[in-house]
A and B are shown apart, each in its own frame.
Chain A
């Protein structure tokens, strides 16, 4: 337990070996994580919870902390050694509760850089519990920490009032801490630049531009030099052999290899489990997953995101959000599921609802983005641009409307800005690996399931029935062929496959643009839907869903009307 962004998850990860995401901004941990550690032959469970500044239940994070407090036998209180005074407030509150505590005085290496000297022995004496200097990132002090866990004591301090508590802390800090002057480091100068409004905005635009460029560069190279060659030279011959073996044009063949186009396999059109089912996740989406999460991981660990949130705060307020709501939106670009979970860092039902709805409706996940770039990009980059511009406009306009229409105000930003830290390569790659594995474990089965499901629907003729029911909207309003209903159905399961389904339909470029945009907007994928039901509650979620479907119909129709090519 400890303040936000002090390194709890890093220490948790070291103690348990459990895979958790760590980064340099408050609000990284939104759910609790559970793991086990080995001490003296037993295997106690350890829980990593979101950061909190105090035990007073003024925010969701604090409520979560209080809940776990009741069940815990012992608290590892992670304290940021470079911010001793503020961090000790929670420590005292914990001690007053009479629960055994061990203090991990984390970020110990930073104290040297900042010229802070702390008399650890003295602090230990005053607090009456073990105090161990640690560095979660390098692992220093962790062994000692584990060694002291059995020795955690209860020293019940008398319960103080707020004011007295701070006075006491003031005295403690005076007693144990000495500050030495040191010069502004380069990183600190960079910090000033990036948040100052005059230079901050250009820096933000530069950062975003570089981010997009790097993401695209890495992904496209992975596709051109690794994925495509593999599929063309190694996989296609295998698949063709399989095709000959199964005999063309029968049910089994169509499901496994898909329909041959001109006697050959087209990965975007054949739609077999063995062909499209593998090509889509591995050669179209995975490269973008890798490059996106690489760039995001670096930005997360550097500490840039909270500063970006401050710069965006004004703009976000017009959408009914405050600056930090940009985090769920950015995470949603990777996958809508962590984006939806991240709405937990927002206080207030109104803000959560707006952020979740805007993210689900207007922020396409990188899997969708990869498919759009792959499929629509073939017709010309400008069409890809149109899709994203439309989505951006939907975000802004819908936000403006929701802000006007929904009663209440969104809270103001009150956010700690962490110092810039050089990202640790190991941390960035660990996160990347976790996120890639998670994608492979979750996406690939769903992609294969989606393709199987669609093929079955076709065979059963269900597609025909459904397309007749929905054809007024699909054909008249959106201008798409009625077979597109299949894409909409699959979109419930996986949006990337759904966009992929537009491939074999032989659409005009305009139809492709309308179809992709509609697919991005109309409804979240099932994983996101499940999380949103949990986060927003079923009533709000239904409201949100209705808004999304309505927006899809409207925007699709408008695009169909307005675009001329």
Chain B
């Protein structure tokens, strides 16, 4: 099932399938290492549409809610 990063549950793992952002945002997200095909784990979500923290490979990234909602993840549900 493919859902947005913001809909993932805390601790859930998945694979990045699509980044629906504009050129600039997509490039920035990708160059930080969050790319299609990468395994990703959702660490935290902060309340009130706050930043999402994810774990990819060996590094953690905090992503703003709007940007995060455009990252589509395939999860096992």
- Report which A residues bind B (CB closer than 8 A): 53-54, 56, 58-59, 82-83, 85-86, 89, 114, 116, 162, 166, 191-192, 195-197, 306, 309-311, 313-314, 322-323, 411-417, 419
A85-B44 contact, Cβ under 8 Å, with A59-B28, A414-B28: no
**Residue in contact with A86 in the complex, picked from B33, B47, B60, CB distance below 8 Å:** B33
Answer whether residue B35 sits at the interface, using C-beta atoms and an 8 A cutoff.
yes
A58-B24 contact, Cβ under 8 Å, with A417-B60, A417-B62: yes
Q: Are A310 and B59 in contact (CB under 8 A)?
A: no
Interface secondary structure of A, over-half rule: helix
Q: Are A322 and B58 in contact (CB under 8 A)?
A: no
Closest to A111 in B: B58
From A309, A411, A419, residue with most partner B Cβ within 10 Å: A411
Q: With A and B bound together, what is the CA distance between A54 and B24 in angstroms?
A: 13
Q: Report A-chain residues with C-beta under 8 Å of the C-beta of B46.
A: 197, 310-311, 313-314
Residue-by-residue, is B39-74 near A (CB-CB < 8 Å gives 1, otherwise 0)? 000011111111101000111111111110000000
Q: Are A310 and B24 in contact (CB under 8 A)?
A: no
Q: Report A-chain residues with C-beta under 8 Å of the C-beta of B59.
A: 83, 86, 416-417
Q: With A and B bound together, what is the CA distance between A414 and B66 in angstroms?
A: 11
**Residue in contact with B53 in the complex, picked from A86, A116, A166, A195, CB distance below 8 Å:** A195
How near does chain B come to A62, taking the closest CB pair, in angstroms? 9
Closest to A410 in B: B64
Closest to B30 in A: A162
Residue-by-residue, is B1-42 near A (CB-CB < 8 Å gives 1, otherwise 0)? 000000000000000000000001001111111010000000
Q: With A and B bound together, what is the CA distance between A495 and B1 in angstroms?
A: 60
Q: Are A412 and B57 in contact (CB under 8 A)?
A: no
Q: With A and B bound together, what is the CA distance between A196 and B53 in angstroms?
A: 9
How near does chain A come to B55, taking the closest CB pair, in angstroms? 9
Q: Report A-chain residues with C-beta under 8 Å of the C-beta of B32.
A: 53, 86, 414, 416
Closest to A310 in B: B62
Q: Are B62 and A314 in contact (CB under 8 A)?
A: no
**Interface residue range, chain B:** 20 to 34
A195-B43 contact, Cβ under 8 Å, with A56-B27, A58-B27, A412-B66: yes
Q: Are A58 and B31 in contact (CB under 8 A)?
A: yes
A413-B53 contact, Cβ under 8 Å, with A197-B44, A314-B48: no
Q: With A and B bound together, what is the CA distance between A533 and B35 in angstroms?
A: 39
**Residue in contact with B64 in the complex, picked from A85, A197, A413, CB distance below 8 Å:** A413
Q: Report A-chain residues with C-beta under 8 Å of the C-beta of B28.
A: 53, 58-59, 414
Q: Are B64 and A314 in contact (CB under 8 A)?
A: no
Q: Are B64 and A412 in contact (CB under 8 A)?
A: yes
Q: Report A-chain residues with C-beta under 8 Å of the C-beta of B65.
A: 412
Q: Are B67 and A417 in contact (CB under 8 A)?
A: no
Q: Are A310 and B51 in contact (CB under 8 A)?
A: yes
Q: Report A-chain residues with C-beta under 8 Å of the C-beta of B30.
A: 162
Q: With A and B bound together, what is the CA distance between A89 and B33 in angstroms?
A: 9
